Structure 1
Amino acid sequence: MTGSVHTATAVSAAARYAGARVRRVEDPRLLTGQGTFVDDVVRPRMVHACFVRSPFPRARILGIDASAALALDGVHAVFVAADLNPDVHEAWYGILGKNVPDTPRPPLAEDEVRFVGDPVALVIAENRYVAEDAVDLVEVDYDPLPAVADYAGAQETDELVHEAYPNNLAGGFRGSPVDAVDAACASAAHVVAETFFQQAYAPVPMETRGIVVEWAGGELTIWVASQAPHEVRAFAARLLGLPENRVRAIMRDTGGGFGQKVNPMREDMCIMLAARKVPGAIKWIEDRRENLMAANQARHAHGYTRFAFDEDARIVAAQIEYTQDVGAYPTPWPVGTSAAVGMLFPGPYRIPTATWSTWSVFSNTVGLSAYRGPWQFESVAREVLLDIAARRLGLDPADLRRRNFLANADMPYQNPAGFLYNHLSPREVFEAGLAKLDYDAFRREQAAAREQGRYLGVGTASYVEPTASAMGFYATEGATIRIEPSGKVNVYLAGGSTGNSLETTAVQLTADALGVDLADVNTIQGDTAVTPFGGGTGGSRSGSMIAGAVQETGAQLRERIIAIAAHLLEAPAENIELARGRATVQGDPSPGLSVAEIAAVAYFEPDKLPKEVPPGLEASGRYQAKDMMQWANATHVCTCEVDIVTGVVTLLRYIVSEDVGPMINPNIVEGQVAGGTVQGIGGALYENLVYDADGNPLATTFLDYLVPTMAEVPLIEIVHLETPGSGPGGYKGAGEGGAIGAPPAIINAVADALAPFGVTITRLPVTPASIVDLLVSARAQSA
């Protein structure tokens, strides 16, 4: 799936595994079907849950009759809002804290349903088959109401999604006053402005949402598909008013998350609340239709964007006015996170003046949640507008960017929205990507193809990516490392791995930190009963934060091992070398002591230890990030061919030139980049969580919701540049970039192919039908 060019940097002599293409330690378990996903969990007397969901986008609930369902053999209970909602104690998320002005989050719909798929009742039965049959027997008396189906007009209608929010506005933010941008535009040589529209699409992980909750002995145990098991535990404790030490969350294997599984959603709340009302554990496994209908959407937004240029085509001012659809029940509070769209809009360019505004608007559709690069719209708007501007200014888009790029030599640099960039290489990765393509050669090939009636195009998209934030909930990460009496090593971490290989990452880092063999290290993650608190997987934080936690903890243990070895070998500690699982004395040919021998003394012969060293070999540490962000950056380069009769787009080459700092494991980084890129390809060309004008979803199966397959995805070629960050090991994040850069690069490639026709693309997705319509319109205008 991937090819790469790797520009290596020097690695510490002590690093035996970091930077190496180590095979994933998870794979033997997963590839042989021995993983443990939520649906694999079976508990005594376990019952199964299924939801009664609204068929209307908006309606009053006049009554619910569950008598027929309750009469069905095998049905244990039917819960409605009056049974569960009053038991909610608190329902806020740790990622934002309890003091944010949050949006509504009832477990079950109360007086009114607000989107198709809104959970109205919860059926509990002896198995899923009976539960689904019972759902059909629950009679709900609805009084349909006019729906706010289109968020773009939601602020002008008299209908309200939530009565407490006038004009259907969840909230908004403004950056600096627009006056300076207006003044710059008034005197600029060129001003280019467009409004861009992006469709709703969704993460669609291979494994849908799932949860098993068991209340027994005064304790709540939760098995869950999650990116953040400690957040699940904390949320459940808050929800039910329980002490955290009476709640345990267990996350074994999770088949994809992409932001959808960071925070518990309303269905999870229902299962947690119902668990204390039934005699056994409750399992709920979401089916694919539910996932597409009710597991939230992302990306649905539009934005007015404007650039002002001087006579030399240098950007003098920029503006974005961003409006996003947050649906009926967003997760979490969407207003604060939307500010990132405005603050990142200047991207990797030197822009002296900028302003922004963001607005979050309710609609009677499924709610908004995080999805791999939630601020991604800023790159779509900026990069597509730059290509449009280049054509209007008579410049090659690459040339226009070169006149405005920041370079590594410009770091640190504060963008006009206040973000301080550092350790970035935007111009460098751009040039490396174009060199990999041989940009000039492609332009010659394109010209020759046009003479033959074939339309090829090339597009680029460059961006900066904030990773490993030092803010609040995400600022720290803990680790516990125990060297067992046998010399084998266990490293305990919060976890949250959803296919992003955190197990392999932890094992590599720990082996290096302690100077032991990779095969001697095991990691335990995802069980809040035994692992230290951690923020989970989100914000491209895991690699950097795990590295910090292992470094803090491993240093303690390494010092202790060396102290014991120095004492037993009668040598100064500074002369002890610890490598390949053995402590030796520099210049001494004797074999020294193995870590297993040192561990045996530490546990079984404490009287032989130095006085200052405690028995055992176990330590816990906590890393706190110092810088506000670790910044990564990349350029995507895409070439394509467009059939002007059918509108079909064929991707020819796809190159990602990226700088995520030194790589703990290039295989894992490239997997993350490729996976995100494929999701971005889907967002550009195929995926569309579309609703009709009345608010009814039209894409609730894979027959209607199209995702790219191997047939549509080209080889993804990857070029690595490595500018170390300021965190441990210089590691940055790599989880979200692919999904950010792909849509604008593809749009620009398609628009470049169609440039002879004067086509301007401002709406996603770019489907064959939309391309044909654009060509017809362009021909009509030129006639």
Structure 2
Amino acid sequence: MTDLKAGAARYAGARVHRVEDPRLLTGHGTFVDDVVRPGMLHACFVRSPVARARITAVDASEALALDGVHAVFFAEDLNPDVRESWYTLLGRDVPDTPRPALADGEVRFAGDPVALVVARDRYVAEDAADLVEIDYEALPPVVDYATAGESAESVHPEHPGNVAGALDGRPAEELAPVFDGAAHVVAATIHQQAYVPVPMETRGLVAEWSAADGELTIWASTQAPHEVRLFCSRLLGLPEHKVRVIMRDTGGGFGQKVIPMREDMCLLLAARKLPAAVKWIEDRRENLLSAGQARHEHGHARMAFDDDGRILAAALDYVQDAGAYPSPSPLFSAAAVGMLFPGPYRIPQSTFSVRSMFSNTTGRTAYRGPWQFESVAREVLLDRAARQLGVDPVELRRRNLLRHDEMPFVNPNGMPYSDMTPLETFEHALEILDYPAFRKEQEQGRAQGRYLGVGTCSYVEPTASALGPHATEGATIRIEPSGTVNVYVSGGSTGNSLETTTVQLTADALGVDIADVNTIQGDTAVTPFGGGTGGSRSGSMIAGAIAETATTLRDRVIAIAAHRLEAAVDDIELAASRATVRGVPESGISLADIAALAYFQVDALPPGVPAGLEASARYRAQAPMIWTNATHVSTCEVDVVTGHVRLLRHIVSEDCGPMINPNVVEGQIAGGTVQGIGGALLEHLAYDEDGNPVSTTFMDYLLPTSAEVPDIEYGHVESPGPGPGGYKGVGEGGAIGAPPAVVNAVADALAPFGVEIGRLPLTPATIVALIEEAR
């Protein structure tokens, strides 16, 4: 990163107020539903009411006769227009799963889109959707992914055994002697329920086709506007420059909005057949019904220990539910579960097997830390091991956690860890809690009939990577003639404050006042290509792109200032939007005056310095992977009569390197942590035995509120990463670490009853049943 002169680095690391907050908090944001186009039409989907059936007949005549209805599209109207439908994230040649725009011949889950109705407004479109007649011939559904491999039925005939993907690590028989000869072997099968991102803003799209010039403009609620542009270009066979994607404000994504899904495909395909723009805004029921599931999975985990409680080997057999139409291919997250199962521990040998299985339920999608189950299985197993070995779970972890001075370290599955502090963050979190004091309080509580518990989770999180199609990020910085600095980056900000991050980093890199910096994001017509928000990559990648770009501009500004002030280049300092001579602060020139020279007095520029103050550059990640790590510590009290869990404290000690903005970092941790708490205790996207969803409203799908979540306490351990500024990712960790910590806290509270937890969520009814079974 550019070497900043003394006094220039003022903003990175500071709790700068978010620049987007005035707009958002006063209700002046622009979301997709705020977009209005001339003569705009509205879309509504007709969805399958059953999990699996053959479509035998369709009739849209009554719907088309309704005043205000413009069109009703079926599979034969849209699907043949698909040119290509692969994602940049995966690449053209990676095996993928089926992805028709509309159900063709057979519906494969309750909520499967069968027809697209377009009308003058949403109300008419919904009325018309009710009038579309579709005849179904019921077929036996494959509802339980865990038994899908033995089913005589196929979700997709081209995938025998309902296997969406599979991968095996080291042959299990090679580790058999280690497990057979170990002093202790502990095993557990852990089941995690399906739950979902539930962004505040549901999915949405506006597509406007201009037949005169063959251009398509898209307003999207997305995490990756350039991915939408590339996907649309391939889908429709349009040149890239004929597709423009505009992303303004997006009310949360959490992985669900990284890539276009089937409904988005339908809107894009239909747009060229319509005389005006068409808008689709998903309602909440649709979101819970068909926007995708996550977390539905189970695994059999084993660990071998020596007499001192040190881990000798670990193994995980993992199976996940892919649903009917996963997006993208689910094998990548499944493979990550296996590869990361050893976590931040000193484990010499390990193996895994992973299977992704189709079912007649909504498709699996990415959700904040898609590989999160590896931490659930490992950390729950470690607490169970501690109880069996008669060792405090904290002490067991101390014997096995990696230290900072052991980095770099290659885990037994080949993952190259670096720049992490697992033991250090663990001890820091326990210090914040005062672990010995809590154990005393717990002992006193049990004597009074109160059941308190404490649980921990330590994990590693892969963030920005030098591998794959998103290993680079671009930026353009223009110092305008007025001296104002405009920074253009891809964007994808969905509540993660990329606007504020970009402004802070640019102000420091150029030595300008933060009030003089603006950022333009989310418009593919003017911003450089970028991979968007996903995989906790944005902070470090944007930092690299800004550093690369600002270096060129900074050198040009300094050269102009030195020439004008008749000083040596090495003596020029930039701060507060002004260039001064070191040691002579009264000798200076403002950035506005430098810009005026660059644009309007080019004859006064020094030799070799081009006119204007604009630069573009791309940053390429240098390390194979940037690693973040953290420890969550949760304490709770369980009412053993009602099964109610009251969380007392939740502590997160995180090492995400130096923090660009602690407010933003802690906001990201808090959001993920609350989602993880919901997954541990409340949320469940449930289906009945016939494949009917039974939790498609917030009356049935329970979310955590402020009443269920304690104040989250933060600790920060900073070890620089290998990227510019030492910054690491932080976006997904809260959702990874919170569920195991909460589960272990509940298990610890119920330890006097001999309760062991193997299935989530931990609803009051579940906890009461566990206690009764143990008794």
Q: TM-score range by the shorter chain?
A: over 0.9
Runs of 4+ in 1 over 6 A off after TM superposition: none
CA distance in 2 between partners of 1:292 and 1:218 (Å) = 35
The 1:497–1:11 alpha-carbon spacing in structure 2 relative to 1, beyond 3 Å, is farther
Q: How many Å apart are 1:633 and its aligned residue? A: 0.4
**Shift in Å at residue 106 of structure 1?**
0.1
Aligned counterpart, 1:727: 723
The residue type equivalent to 2:252 in the other structure is: G
Q: Contact (CA 8 Å) 2:565, 2:587: kept in 1 or not?
A: no
Q: How does 1:192-231 map to 2 (within 5 A)?
A: 192-216=186-210, 217-231=213-227
Partner of 2:758: 762
Separation in 1 of the partners of 2:696 and 2:382? 35
Gap change, CA 1:19 and 1:754, over 3 Å in 2: same
Aligned to 2:256: 260
* Structure 1 gap segments, 5+ residues each: 1-9
- Kindly indicate whether residue 17 of structure 2 is the aligned counterpart of residue 58 of structure 1: no
Maintained 8 Å contact 1:180/1:353: no
Matched letter for residue 653 of structure 2: S
Answering whether residue 618 of structure 2 is matched by residue 618 of structure 1, we say no
Aligned-pair RMSD on alpha carbons? Answer: 0.9
Structure 2 residue 280 is matched with structure 1 residue 284: yes
CA deviation after TM superposition for structure 1 residue 572, in Å: 1.1
Moved more, 367-376 or 170-179: 170-179
Q: Distance in 2 between matches of 1:27 and 1:313?
A: 50
Structure 1 CA distance, aligned partners of 2:666 and 2:559? 40
Residue of structure 2 in register with 1:147 after alignment:
141
**Aligned partner letter, 1:695:** G
User: In structure 1, how many angstroms separate the alpha carbons of the residues matched to 2:582 and 2:496?
Assistant: 39
- Partner SS, residue 579 of structure 2: strand
Partner of 1:696: 692
Q: Distance in 1 between matches of 2:5 and 2:149?
A: 55
Q: 2:84 aligns with which of 90, 106, 109?
A: 90
8 Å CA contact 1:480–1:532 kept in 2: the answer is yes
Shift of 1:336: 2.5
Distance 1:405 1:677 in 2: 22
Q: Does 1:244 align with 2:240?
A: yes
- The letter for the 2-side match of 1:88 is V
Q: Which residue in the other structure is 2:546 paired with?
A: 550
1:104-155 Cα offsets, whole Å, 9 max, x none, are: 0000000000000000000000000000000000000000100001000000
What do the CA deviations read for 1:44-75 (whole angstroms, capped 9, x no partner)? Answer: 11100000000000000001100000000000
Aligned equivalents of 1:126 and 1:587: distance in 2? 69
Helix, strand or coil at the partner of 2:593: helix
The number of residues matched between the two structures is: 770
Equivalent residues of 2:8, 2:574 under 8 A apart: no
Residues of 2 paired with 1:181 and 1:638: CA distance? 34
Aligned to 2:463: 467
Q: Pairwise mapping of residues 251-330 of structure 1 onto structure 2 (< 5 A)?
A: 251-330=247-326
Provide the rounded CA distance (Å) in 1 between the counterparts of 2:408 and 2:768: 45
SS at match of 1:149: coil
Amino acid at match of 1:44: P
Report the AA paired with residue 697 of structure 1.
P
Q: Secondary structure, in 3 states, of the residue corresponding to 1:708?
A: coil
After superposition, where does 1:529-544 map in structure 2 within 5 Å? 529-544=525-540
- Match runs of 1:670-749 below 5 Å: 670-749=666-745
Mapping of 1:603-614 within 5 angstroms? 603-614=599-610
| Same amino acid, percent of matched pairs | 71
Once the two structures are superposed, residues 252-282 of structure 1 have per-residue CA deviations (whole angstroms, 9 ceiling, x without a partner) of 0000000000000000000000000000000
Q: Is the 8 A contact 1:675 1:738 kept in 2?
A: yes
Q: Is the 2:350–2:412 Cα contact (8 Å) retained in structure 1? A: yes
| Amino acid paired to 1:304 | H
Q: What pairs with 1:321-360 in structure 2 (closer than 5 Å)? A: 321-360=317-356
Q: Which of the residues 65, 73, 87 maps onto 1:71?
A: 65
- 1:443 CA displacement: 0.4
Match of 2:355, SS? strand
d(CA) in 2 for partners of 1:304 and 1:181? 16
2:156 is matched with 162
Q: Distance in 1 between matches of 2:525 and 2:137?
A: 47
Three-state SS of the structure 1 residue aligned to 2:316 is strand
Q: Which amino acid aligns with 1:655?
A: I
Could you tell me how far apart the structure 2 residues matched to 1:121 and 1:469 are?
Answer: 40
Kindly indicate whether the alpha-carbon contact (under 8 Å) linking 1:477 and 1:534 is maintained by their aligned counterparts in 2. yes
Q: Report the equivalent of 1:434.
A: 430
SS at match of 2:114: strand
Query: Residue 449 of structure 2 aligns with which residue?
Result: 453
Amino acid paired to 1:259: G
SS in 1 for 2:244: strand
Q: Does the Cα contact within 8 Å between 1:80 and 1:108 map onto a contact in 2?
A: yes
TM-superposed CA distance for 1:589, in Å, is: 4.2
User: What are the within-5 Å matches in structure 2 for residues 641-680 of structure 1?
Assistant: 641-680=637-676
Q: 2:22 pairs with 19, 28, 31, which one?
A: 28
Deviations 1:516-557 (A, max 9, x none): 000000000000000000000000000000000000000110
* Counterpart position of 2:113: 119
In structure 2, the partner of 1:526 is 522
Query: For each residue in 1:576-608, what CA deviation from the matched residue of structure 2 results, as whole angstroms up to 9, or x when unmatched?
Result: 111111111112243410000000010011111
Deviation at 1:13, TM superposition (A): 5.0
1:101 aligned residue? 95
Task: Name the aligned partner's letter for residue 338 of structure 1.
Answer: A
Q: Which amino acid aligns with 1:298?
A: A
Are 1:499 and 2:475 matched, yes or no?
Answer: no
* Amino acid of the structure 2 residue aligned with 1:180: E
1:758 is matched by which residue type in structure 2? G
- Letter of the 1:621 partner, please give it: A
User: Distance between the aligned counterparts of 2:586 and 2:656, measured in 1?
Assistant: 42
State how far apart, in whole Å, the 1-side matches of 2:9 and 2:79 are.
Answer: 53
CA shift for structure 1 position 611: 2.1
Deviating more after overlay: 368-377 vs 170-179: 170-179
What residue is the counterpart of 2:43 in the other structure? Answer: 49
Q: Which amino acid counterpart does residue 109 of structure 1 have in structure 2?
A: A
Q: Which amino acid aligns with 1:128?
A: R
Retained in 1: the 8 A contact 2:151–2:161?
yes
Moved more, 110-119 or 170-179: 170-179
